[in-house]
Structures are given as C-alpha cells and as structure tokens.
C-alpha cells in the first residue's frame, strides 16, 4: 500500500545512476543493500525499487526491535523473517546470527537491507559521531554518520556463499528537498536519485577487521558522491528509470473494494439510523483509526526519531 502511494498517488520519480552490467543483475541474485539513512522516506524509495525488479516480497532488513510492535507493518515483518535487533551488540549477537542463518537458504532472490549508520542522520548525531571518528583516528564524514561495522561484518560472514554481491546505494532528492511520508499522503511529488554500485562479495575481505576497514572506506566514497551531487546536482553513471508495474495499484484497488465498500455501507447505515449513540461511536472509531495512522507516520519522522546515537559512546565497536 505504501509503495502504491509513492508510485501512483504522489507520482514520485525514482532514477537510478549505475551501469548496464549492474542493472542486468537486479532481481537475479541474492544481495546485501547498504543505504544511507538521511530521509524519512528512504526506506520507501528502496521498497519501490524492489517492487520494480520483482523482489519486494523477498526483501529483508536488519531493523530496530521497536518496529516489531508497530501495528500491521511490524507484525507482518515478523512473519516475513525480518531480522530485529535492540542495537546493543552484546545482546543482539546471537539473535542477529540466528536470523541471518535462517536466510542462508532462502529459496527466492533476496535483497537484505542494512542501515550501517544504525540510526537516521541528524545534526546532533552527526556531531557526536564525528567526535567518535576523531577519537578513533578515522576520517570525518560530512554527509553520513560513522558506520557501525558489526552488523555488516556479521551479515557478510553469515551470508557468504548465499549472497553474490553488495549493492551500495546513495540516495538524494532533487531540488534539495527533504520529503516526508505525510507529504506523500498529501500527494506531493518528489524526484529521487539513487546511485547504485555493485561489489562482488569475493572482493570484500573475509577478515573481520579488514572488512570493517572496507566499510569505512566505502562510506568515505559515499560522502564524496554526496558532495558531487550537492555541487553538480547529479550522480555519476548512466541514468535508468525502471517502469512502474501495475501490481501495487491493482492490490490497492482490490483491498479497497473488499474492505472499504462494506465500511461505507455500514457508515451510511449508521447515519441513516439517526441514533446519536451509534453515530458518536462510529465517529469515535474513525477518529481512533486516524490517530493510529498518524502515530504510524510518526515512526518515520526525523524529529520524532529515537535518541539512539545522541549520547556519548566512546567504546570500540
């Protein structure tokens, strides 16, 4: 439903910047996706790409455990074998490893998403993250938080032999826009640009420390790509615009017919009854549903995001 809102309701355009060899691999191999976490709808742009290449149903993510309790989405993710974590590695290690091992023999082509920064970018989190980088002797980043390497190195170790490559995705929006899910619901159109680079898994070191260094270098390159985009308004590479597929729209129309038609019929009957008690109860139900949707949207809002990353953490990963 959310992908339908992005693609058909708001008409948001998603353009890929890559090369033909990489695009030909999309939807035809198991991969790990690394995506920057700067925007409220970055996950939604990722979902629309998985839909356009036929792997939305088999896409997975390493997600914070709080999302497990979000009505509908969290519960659905649980049954779709999404890997949840508390973002405390000492507590997460066994859970993450067990979840990744379950994906090792996944029967369909799978895209596994990692937000290596661990939390969404804010100025406060960036300042603290760069203090940590300085204390560890790592190069500072301008547009990203310092990547947390444990989840990445563990995913590579557990999925080696299953996953063929790592796709590095750097996302930005034209016109320096900062889109929101609420804007999508209001029908605002955005233009998303996604630079996608493919790295064969055999090119990533097997040693954990060397793999961590590889990830830090990758984020330095991502920072350079963002700098280029800010200066030139474009990413390097050929431009591809994968066409929308009709399935999300047809899915929406089907469920709207099945669920909303009886609801409208019931609502008409309530108002036709003339009973103040029934009318108030119905309006209360609609109000509660609207409040629930608004709270669900609040999960994606940057200013209402978690405080994870705001405290001083000087420990080694």
Q: Is the pLDDT of residue 297 over 80?
A: no
| Selected residue with higher pLDDT from 75 and 97 | 97
Q: What confidence category does residue 316 fall into, taking pLDDT thresholds of 50, 70 and 90?
A: very low
Position 106 scores a pLDDT of 86
- Tokens 């669900």, residue? 296
User: Which region among 53-57, 91-95, 307-311 has the lowest average model confidence (pLDDT)?
Assistant: 307-311
Give the lowest-confidence range in 80-89, 179-188, 294-303: 294-303
| Mean pLDDT (the chain, rounded) | 86
Q: How confident is the model at residue 194 (pLDDT cuts 50, 70, 90)?
A: very high
In this predicted structure, what is the pLDDT of residue 132? 92
Range 80-100 average pLDDT: 74
Q: Which residues contact 46 (CB under 8 A, 6 or more apart)?
A: 33, 35, 59, 113, 169
Confidence band of 120 (pLDDT split at 50, 70, 90): confident
Residue 121 has pLDDT above 80, yes or no: yes
Q: Which CATH number fits domain 1-242: 3.40.50, 3.90.1570, 2.60.40, 3.40.1130?
A: 3.40.1130
Q: How far is CA 171 from CA 137, 151, 223, in A?
A: 27, 21, 11
- What pTM, to 2 d.p., does this model score? 0.84
The confidence score (pLDDT) of residue 256 equals 86
Residue 246 confidence (pLDDT) above 50: yes
What is the per-residue burial (b if ≥16 Cβ within 10 Å, else e) of 257-296? eeeeeeeeeebeebeeeeeeeeeeebeeeeeeeeeeeeee
pLDDT at 309: 57
Residue 202: predicted pLDDT? 94
Identify whether the C-beta of residue 87 lies closer than 8 Å to the C-beta of residue 68.
no
Mean pLDDT over 131-157 rounds to 92
Tell me if 204 sits within 8 A of 166, measured CB to CB: yes
Locate the domains of the chain by residue range: 1-242, 247-300
What does the pLDDT read at residue 60? 86
Instruction: Report the Cα 172 to chain-centroid distance in Å.
Output: 14
Interatomic CA distance for residues 214 and 137, integer angstroms? 15
């Amino acid at each position: 439903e959310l992908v339908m809102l992005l693609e058909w309701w708001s008409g948001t355009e998603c353009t890929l910047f890559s090369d033909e060899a990489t695009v030909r691999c999309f939807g035809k191999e198991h991969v790990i996706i690394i995506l920057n976490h700067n925007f409220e709808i970055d996950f939604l742009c990722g979902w629309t790409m998985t839909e356009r290449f036929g792997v939305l149903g088999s896409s997975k993510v390493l997600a914070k455990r709080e999302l497990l309790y979000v009505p509908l989405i969290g519960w659905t993710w649980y049954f779709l074998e999404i890997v949840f974590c508390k973002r405390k590695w000492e507590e997460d290690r066994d859970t993450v490893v067990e979840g990744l091992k379950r994906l090792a023999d996944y029967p369909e082509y799978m895209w596994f998403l990692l937000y290596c920064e661990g939390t969404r970018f804010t100025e406060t989190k960036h300042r603290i993250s760069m203090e940590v980088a300085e204390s560890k002797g790592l190069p500072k980043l301008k547009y990203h938080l310092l990547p947390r390497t444990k989840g990445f190195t563990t995913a590579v170790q557990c999925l080696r032999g299953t996953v063929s490559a790592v796709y590095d995705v750097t996302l930005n929006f034209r016109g320096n826009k900062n889109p929101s899910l609420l804007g999508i619901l209001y029908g605002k159109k955005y233009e998303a640009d996604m630079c996608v680079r493919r790295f064969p898994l055999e090119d990533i070191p097997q040693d954990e420390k060397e793999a961590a260094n590889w990830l830090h270098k990758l984020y330095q390159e991502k920072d350079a790509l963002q700098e280029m985009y800010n200066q030139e308004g474009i990413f390097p590479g050929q431009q591809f615009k994968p066409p929308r597929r009709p399935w999300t729209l047809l899915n929406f129309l089907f469920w709207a017919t099945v669920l909303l038609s009886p609801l409208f019929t019931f609502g008409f009957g309530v108002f036709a009854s003339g009973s103040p008690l029934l009318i108030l109860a119905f309006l209360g139900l609609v109000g509660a549903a609207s409040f629930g949707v608004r709270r669900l949207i609040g999960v994606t809002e940057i200013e209402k995001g978690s405080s994870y990353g705001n405290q001083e953490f000087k420990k080694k990963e």
